[in-house]
Amino acid sequence: MAEIVLNVEVRERTGTGGSRETRRAGKVPGILYGGAKDPVAIAVKSNEFRKALYTGKLLGHLVTLKYGDETQPVIAKAVDMHPVTDEPWHFDLYRVDEHQQIKIEVPVHFAHQEESPGLKRGGNLAVVLHTLNVSCPADHIPEEIVIDLKGLEIGATIRVSDLKLPKGVTAAVDGDLVVASIAGSRTGTEAEGEGEAGGEG
């Protein structure tokens, strides 16, 4: 079930002029597309849109779009922010069926960093993928992909194929792609080298 409900209205005017007029009326302009239907210019009241956005449950989540008595499950694909005011400026919604299989970017979270021997010894976590493109039902989008670093030493490499994904979720990218690795710090490497050199003397 979607946690966010957006009450939208259809915009009569489109283009730059229509968007400007919408913002002057205290609303955020957007576009609804996908589902083998024509795109529709829509708008949401600014205060309602900000409230939904700041819950953290809007972007990349299943959202219920409500227009009068009609509802439509959608995925919030993008939100553009004003570069100066940081206010929501425009948004894109994509029509889906709740049980439809979709591809979507999900954040990657690294857990138990404090229990990685490699990081404890001064190694660095080199992150290659901050998000992972996955395939999953629209109503079962994971909040994040958790990667457990417990027990990992310097030199460890984590690939997509190593990840434990939630039930019903599969990676939509090559399994050989590197997600992250634990690299030795330059300082630590230099110190080891100096120690070896000193021993030879």
* Alpha-carbon gap, residue 173 to 135, rounded angstroms: 9
pLDDT value, residue 9: 95
pLDDT value, residue 144: 94
Mean pLDDT in residue range 132-155: 95
Identify the H or E element spanning 60.
none
* Alpha-carbon gap, residue 55 to 153, rounded angstroms: 37
* Alpha-carbon gap, residue 76 to 52, rounded angstroms: 11
pLDDT at position 185 over 80: no
- The residues, ordered by sequence, that sit 6+ positions from 194 with a Cβ below 8 Å of its Cβ are none
Mean pLDDT in residue range 162-167: 96
pLDDT value, residue 2: 64
pLDDT value, residue 187: 57
pLDDT at position 191 over 70: no
**Fold of the 102-193 domain:** RNA Polymerase Alpha Subunit; Chain A, domain 2 (2.170.120)
The mean pLDDT value of the chain amounts to 90
Report which of residues 12 and 113 the model is more confident about: 113
pLDDT at position 139 over 70: yes
CATH 2.40.240.10 maps onto the chain at 4-97
**Fold of the 4-97 domain:** Ribosomal Protein L25; Chain P (2.40.240)
Mean pLDDT in residue range 86-115: 94
Please check whether residue 6 is in contact with residue 64, taking contact to mean a CB–CB distance below 8 angstroms: yes
CATH 2.170.120.20 maps onto the chain at 102-193
Dihedrals φ, ψ of 155, to 5°?
100, -10
